[in-house]
Each structure stands twice: as C-alpha cells, then as structure tokens.
A and B are shown apart, each in its own frame.
Chain A
Amino acid sequence: MTAMQNVSIGSHYAVHLPAPDDFAVWRERARGLVQCDVPPDRVSWIEPGGTGDLFASEGPARGEKRLPVPPVDAPPVRASKRFLELARHAALHSDPARFGLLYRVLWRLQRHPRLMEDKADPEVRRIEELAKAVRRDAHKMHAFVRFREVEEEGGTPHFVAWFEPDHHVVRSEAGFFMRRFANMRWSILTPRGSIHWDGEVMREGPPARRSDAPGGDPVEDLWRSYYAAIFNPARLKVGAMLSEMPKKYWKNLPEAELIPQLIAGAQAREARMVSSGSLERGEKPETLKGVGKAIHACRMCPIGELDNHAVMGEGPRDAPLMIVGEQPGDQEDQAGRPFVGPAGQLLGEYLTRAGIDRDAAYVTNAVKHFKFVWKGKRRLHQSPGAKEIDTCRWWLEAERDLVRPRIVLALGASAARGLLGKTVSISKVRGEPMMLEDGTELWVTAHPSYLLRLDGAARETQAALFAADLAAVRERLEDLAG
C-alpha cells in the first residue's frame, strides 16, 4: 500500500486513494472533508494508475499540503443506510468519476437527509446505476468463472481460473468463492489482481495475464457435450441468451465455442422434424409397379435420405396371404428384394415346415428403406421409429389395396404397427386373429430375426411359438380356401 498523499493547491484538495476498490479509505477521507466543509467542486479523487485530473499531475512534490484537520467540535457526518449500501458497491465501479459523485451526494445528504429516497434525482439514479452494474458484474463473476484442474507436485489438485471482470469486484467476491469451495485449493487470476485460497488462508496477488492460467481440462469436453445436449433446437431464442451471456464473456467460457454451430443446426433440425410427417403425398399409385417406382423417390421420413435403395414387396398380385416384415436389411437393400438375408432364409425354412408356399404369398416390409448407422465399414441395422413406420404405412396400405389378401401376417412389432397404427405387445396378441378396418384378418407373430438373436432354451421356446403361429395361419388359409 502506498502512503496517502494530500495535496492542496489554493483551496483545492486532491485525495490519492491506495487502491481502486478501497472504500474504507474513501469513507474516512470523505468524512474528514465534509467536517471541514470542503465543497465537492474543490476535491479531486485519484486512484492508483488513474489520470485523476489536472491537479494530480502536479504531484505531491509541489505545494504539498495536508488535508485539513476537522475541528474537534465538528458535527458528526450523517448518511442513510441506503447510501452506505449503494456506495459500497458503486465505489467498485470502473468509472473514474465515481468517488467524486459519491462525495457530492454525501455532501448533499448533510442538508437533505432523505435525499436517497428521491429515486428520480439524477445523481441518486446514477449511484444506483453504478451499484447495479457492480452487482451484476459480481454476479456474472459467480456465474462465469471456470476453474481448470492442475495437478501439482504434492498431489492435491489445484483449480485455477482466468476471469476478466468489468469492475473492481475481485477482492470483494473472494468470500463467495471461499464459502463455496472451502475445502478446495483454488486461484482466480484477473487483470485487476488475483486471489488464492489453500483451504485455510486467502492470499491476494498482483494482476495476472491470461497466459498465466492453464490451457485446458479434460472435463471441459464432458461439459461441452452436456451444453450441446441440454439445448433444445426446437426453441431458438438467441436474443434471450445474448442479453444474459453477452459475447464479451464468451472467450473465457469453454462451452461458448459451440454456440454458432448449435444455432446454425437448430433451424434446419426443426424443419426436418416437422416436415417428416406432415406433407401431402397426392394420389396413391394404381399399380404395384407404380408403387415400386414411387417409393424410390420417397423422402417423407429421414430414412429416405440415407444411402440406400427402396425395396418393393414381391409375390403374386392376387396372393391370399401377405407377409409383412419390418424393413429391408443390408442384404435386401443390396439385392433390391425383401427377405433374402439370414432372417429371410430362416422364414423360408419355417414356412416350408408349416406347409405354406412362400412363392404363393406376397412378401413385403412395413418400412421400405433400410435404416442404419455406419459402424466402420458396416451398415448397422437400426429399428425404424414409430413415426417412420406411421409415415411409411401409406405405401403398405397402397400395396394392400392392390393385392387384397385374405390374411395378413405381421412379423414383429414394427410390422404390426404398420398395419394397426398403434404399438401392440406381440406376446399378448399372437395366436389369435385380429380384424383390420377393411375386414382383412391380421395375425401377428415374432420377427424371425428375433429367433436369430436367441439361443438355448429361449430359442427353442420361441421357435415353437413361431412354428405354432405359422401352423395356425396355414389352417386359416385352408379354411378360407375351402
């Protein structure tokens, strides 16, 4: 702390403050000056490093004169509680005129003790504004300080943050961080000074530079993932974000680097979400060939956008039985035909065993395109969503209208949804026929790929159930044919 120097030139006093945030010294000097009846226009307040005003440059060397000593019988200086409360905050503002303003209001308060209640007074308003800006800056410091973990030799982790406040709030907010992180070793470095806490003692240090702070922390990746995931792209309110997290803070927030890409992605994402189910498709094609052609162009759901080919159903135009699977798989997609992969082969075996001629049935899928994710070089099957099945139902119904089967056999829950429009539990509906809206009989059983995923006793049980379902369907076919 530098010694205070008091200079008076003629009747003008210049008061040097030891630190830009030293409210206690300001208060003491101001009290003395008021007691000596020094009017506000004859005092300058100078903070270290500040240019102050004209008189400051004269320095203490010339015409050095102590501040006047208040007379013993000087009346006590009075100020309202509200003034003190506001002044404590306003004194931390970076506006160089703040101490002069505070002194002017303190001076006026001696004659108008209730001045602070006049919220419309321009000087009172100004103090309130300064105090508000400081409180906001302190609050943003609580919010936007980001610690990075540094491993020290001792083994105890040390958490270090770099922060750039607008006002002189670093020392005043040290207590907040101490109370919050009492059992942690931490440092907050700022261009206005730094504070260090070792779990027991708070130390103050000189101003720091950004390069003094550590460069990264692996947990920041997790934090960024969280930030991106918690953002709801269906609701973009950039203005609301900017008013609370202005761009000036972004450079020290690890998550802020994601903001431009999140905004850019958001509008496109929502448009896709809404359009994937709401578009009109016009007239249904009148022939199976027409359907086969039209499905290639279908982009009504995101699956159509993938790198795949639509797979049309196949079989006799007047087939009595229609078998519906979930969606083409990798092999079906390449071959352009339904049920040619491992599940299709298994289905063929069971149909033969049940005595159903596969070639006499019309075989198709609830969803016409192959939904997948790339896993290395492999395309990994992904189940279609309810929405996607419902969207594709339009094509399945077009096929059903043209083939007009007596019986429809749905393999698995996706196929059942494609026919019923709602999700059913296979174990509850299997073994009994259901009636579709147009009177067609619907039988639901498991998808053969389900059997492929099982082994041991479970597979045997499920295989028996599957075979029994197929046998029941064959019986119904014979009944209806007879």
Chain B
Amino acid sequence: MVHYAPSKPTLRQKLEILADAAKYDASCASSGTAKKNSLGGKGIGSTEGMGICHAYAPDGRCISLLKILLTNHCIFDCHYCINRKSSNVARARFTPQEVVDLTLNFYRRNYIEGLFLSSGIVKSANHTMEQLVEVARILREEHDFRGYIHLKTIPEADAEIIHQAGLYADRVSINVELPTDTGLTRLAPDKNARQIEGALARTKDRILTAKDERKRFRHAPRFAPAGQSTQMIVGADDANDAAIIGKASTLYSAFGLRRVYYSAFSPIPDASAVLPLKRPPLLREHRLYQSDWLMRFYGFAPQEVADAAEADGNLPLDIDPKLAWALKFRASFPVDVNRAPRELLLRVPGLGTRAVARILAVRRHRRLRLDDVARLTASVAKVRPFICTIDWRPTLLTDRADLRGLVAPKREQQLELF
C-alpha cells in the first residue's frame, strides 16, 4: 500500500483542479466599477460600467472572469465545502506569477473581463491573504492591468492586508456562508459569525471613507470601487426562505453590500456525512434571487416578501414571489394603469421596472388601452388579471378561487440532451 509521490502537475492540470474548486462561488459579476481604459497606459484592460459575459456554461451561468483559487489546500474543515481539510480531493497550488500569466493570456484573447481570485487557507489567514494581494499587485503595478479584479478576502486576516486588497481590487467580498449562526457553528466550526461581520463592517467603512476622500481630493486612492458582496449557501442547513430573506435584508442595510449571492448547495463529491445528499431544487435559488430583486428594485419590504411564502416559510416553487404576493393580497388589485402611482404599478405581476417606466411615459400623453399595455410588456396574459385600462376590467378574475391555476405558468420539463 505504498503512496507514490505524484509527478509535478502541469499548468493545465492545476487550472483544472483550481477552477473546479472555485465553481461553487456564484458571483461572476464584472459590472458597476469605476470606468477605466488602457489608453495612455503601458498595459491592457478596460472597464466601462457594463459587465460582459464572455461565455456561458451549460449550467446557464455567465463566464465573465477567470474564477480560480490560488490553492485548494485548506486548514479549515467546513462541511459544505469541497476543499475542506478532511476532503479527499486532488490538491494543487498556483504561484502568484502563474495566475498573473493566465489572466493576461486570457485577457489578451478577449476570453475574460478580469480575475476573480479566492483561496483555501494555507499556513495562516494572513499568509494566504498576502499571496492574493501579491497577485493583484503584480497585475496592477508591473503590468498596468486595468481590467476587473475581484478578490475574496479572508475575515480572519489582519485589517491592514485586507485594506491592501481593496486598493488593488475593483470588488472585494467576504462570504457569510450560511444564513444562521447555528448553521455556521455546526457546518463551519472554524469560522466565527462575529468575525465575519466585523470584517464586512470594516470594509464598508473603508469604501465609504475612500468615496468621501475622492470627492475632495481628485487623486485620493480608490478602494474597491465596485463595492463588496457576499454569498450564502442555500439548502445545506434548515433555514427557510423567510429566514434567508430576513438575513439578506439585514446584510444589505448593515454593510452596504452591492449584492448578496445565493448558491444552491450542490451535492459535492466526497461530501461530509452531516450534509443532505439531495440538492435543493435549483428553482429555490432562483426564487430567492427574484425576492432579492423585489426588495432592491420593486419597493417590497422584507416582511412583505416573507408574507408571500407558504406556511413552512418557503417561497412557492411553481410561481414567482411577486405573483404569490399578488394572489395572497388580491384586495390591492386590479391596478388602474392610467392612474396608479409607480409603487402600485410595480406590484403588478408581469410588469417590470422598464414596462412601468414606459407606461408612465405614455400616460403623460394619452390614456392606455389594453393593446398599448400588450406592446409594452412581454406577456399581456400574465398582466391582464391584475390591471384596468380604459377598455379592460378583469371583472371576475380576481375573485376566482382558481385564479392561481389560470395564471401560474404551465410546468415545463427541464431541457434534455440535444
């Protein structure tokens, strides 16, 4: 039973291992940072506000950044994580220079918008964080790289090193990992919720201070101009949707986050015994993102979204949360598209922020008919039961007990092989 020392892995093998290990991070956003380009510089790279998805994987997710770990060796033992210490996955480690070369080689060929670098924790949190910062430093200082950099920061590392990260990166993120403290204690024994929150709060302060300084001094250094984000794993513990929505809204308000990402727990190879074997339905993650949107763009209070949930505190899977809310609170409907204020129009299932803006613009000139609404929205059938126009009034619909059956989308089978 002799263990053979494995031969030195090639760059490609390392890339396979360390990209595979990074795929459980949901974020790949490259938007919302300061505008910059490489004119007048020595290197390459630009960010012009809008993120660009350079490819899509068959899991439907956008590939915008080179998303890799510096190493998947880790001294922590978080049960839901494939890279935990006790997991038996293949391990590999990049040097900072290798990551820099990969990033530049991919960027030159227009495969990516930049780099999203994270890491397992080796030696110590500080050592690991220093290595991550070193990658960003070489890219920015030695190659004058002006593309997007997202650095995952390690809450256990010293504040000073995290500060360095924010000076080079467009975005920094710290994962809260699980929606509840008890879940964190049980599944991530090496992590501490207070420590994570402390790091989020410090980063928030730094971002605000840097923004303020830039208003007064044109050359004040930027600090994470694309802000900070975080990620929660859904379905690994027993937190229901109402609890997750509540947590997300606290995070948004307390730490000024740009985004909270939800990652449906995937059954990972070599999983720990305390985890469920089945994945939660992917649709659950989708419904959480929809409720996130309702809070951020549609003026829903967290409690209102939670009201749309069913008795077990979870959002219905067969209909979206906005429709669920409308069906529960039918007294608010129908909404008169020719008179209702913006806030009420935004509550109509099937009317998005753009459709509402268009309706408001048209309304200034003339009163709308159902045909007009049909031209402004994707599906008038979905909207019709909840609105009035000068030539339409859903007399019976909102009182019907079987309304849900009439408006809920027909269940579609997931696409099969092609």
Could you tell me if A387 and B270 are in contact, using CB atoms closer than 8 angstroms?
yes
**A113-162 residues at the B interface, CB under 8 angstroms:** 114, 117-120, 122, 125, 139, 142-149, 159, 161
Please indicate the chain A residues that have their CB under 8 angstroms from the CB of B397 in the complex: none
CA distance A262 to B364 in the complex (A): 52
**Contacts of B57 on A, CB cut-off 8 Å?**
227, 230-232, 241, 262
Instruction: Say if the beta carbon of A225 comes within 8 Å of chain B.
Output: yes
Q: Is the CB of A223 within 8 A of B109?
A: yes
Interface centre among A118, A146, A229, A231 (most CB of B within 10 A): A229
Chain A residues within 8 Å of B268, by CB: 273
User: In the complex, are the beta carbons of B376 and A223 less than 8 A apart?
Assistant: no
A240–B56 CB distance below 8 A? yes
Whether, in the assembled complex, B184 has its beta carbon less than 8 Å from a beta carbon of chain A, the answer is no
Q: How far is the CA of A236 from the CA of B15 in the complex (A)?
A: 22
Chain B interface extent, by class: 35 or more
B34 surroundings in chain A (CB, below 8 A): none
Q: Give Cα A237 to B285, complex, Å.
A: 13
Chain B residues with CB below 8 A from A380, complex form? 4
> Contact between A182 and B39 (Cβ–Cβ < 8 Å)?
yes
B46 — which chain A residues lie within 8 A by C-beta?
Answer: 176, 179-180
Tell me which of A118, A238, A385 contacts B58 (CB under 8 A).
A238
Q: Check A222 against B102 for contact (C-beta < 8 Å).
A: yes
CB within 8 Å for A219 and B41 given contacts A117-B365, A161-B110: no
Docked-complex contact A259 and B43, CB < 8 angstroms:
no
Which residue on chain A has the smallest CB distance to residue B40?
A182
CB pair A231–B23 under 8 Å, yes or no, is yes
Query: Which listed residue (A235, A422, A447) contacts B264, Cβ 8 A?
Result: A235
A77 in contact (CB, < 8 A): no
Does A453 sit within 8 A of B, measured CB to CB?
yes
Is A217 on the interface with B (CB-CB < 8 A)?
A: yes
What's the nearest-Cβ distance from chain A to residue B56, in Å?
4
State whether A147 and B375 are in contact (beta carbons under 8 Å apart), knowing that A259-B58, A273-B269 are contacts in the complex: no
Q: Is the CB of B277 within 8 A of A145?
A: no
**Is B196 part of the binding interface, using a Cβ–Cβ cutoff of 8 Å?**
no
The reply to whether B272 and A386 contact each other, CB–CB distance below 8 Å, is yes
> Do residues A266 and B106 form an inter-chain contact, with CB atoms below 8 A?
no
Find out whether the CB atom of B12 lies under 8 angstroms from the CB atom of A180. Answer: no
Q: Are B109 and A179 in contact (CB under 8 A)?
A: no
Contact of A449 among B3, B106, B277, B368 (CB under 8 A): B3
B12 CB contacts on chain A under 8 angstroms: 221-222, 225
A159 touches B58 (CB 8 A): no
1/0 per residue, CB under 8 A from B, across A440-471: the answer is 00000001010011000000000000000000
The 8 A CB mask of A228-248 against B (1 = contact, 0 = none) is 111111111111110011000
Given A117-B365, A383-B3, 7 new contacts (CB under 8 A): A176-B46, A179-B37, A219-B106, A231-B58, A236-B415, A341-B2, A421-B273
21 A-B pairs with CB atoms under 8 Å apart are: A143-B52, A149-B108, A178-B39, A179-B46, A179-B48, A180-B46, A227-B57, A229-B15, A230-B23, A236-B414, A260-B418, A262-B58, A273-B268, A277-B277, A325-B1, A342-B2, A343-B2, A380-B4, A381-B2, A386-B87, A453-B3
Residues on B facing A (Cβ under 8 Å): 1-4, 11-12, 15-17, 19-20, 22-24, 37-46, 48, 50, 52-63, 66-68, 77, 86-88, 102, 105-106, 108-111, 264, 266-273, 277-279, 282, 358, 361-362, 364-366, 368, 371-372, 375-376, 414-415, 417-418
- Which 8 A-B pairs give the minimum distances between C-beta atoms? A240-B60, A237-B60, A179-B37, A385-B88, A120-B372, A229-B19, A329-B1, A234-B266
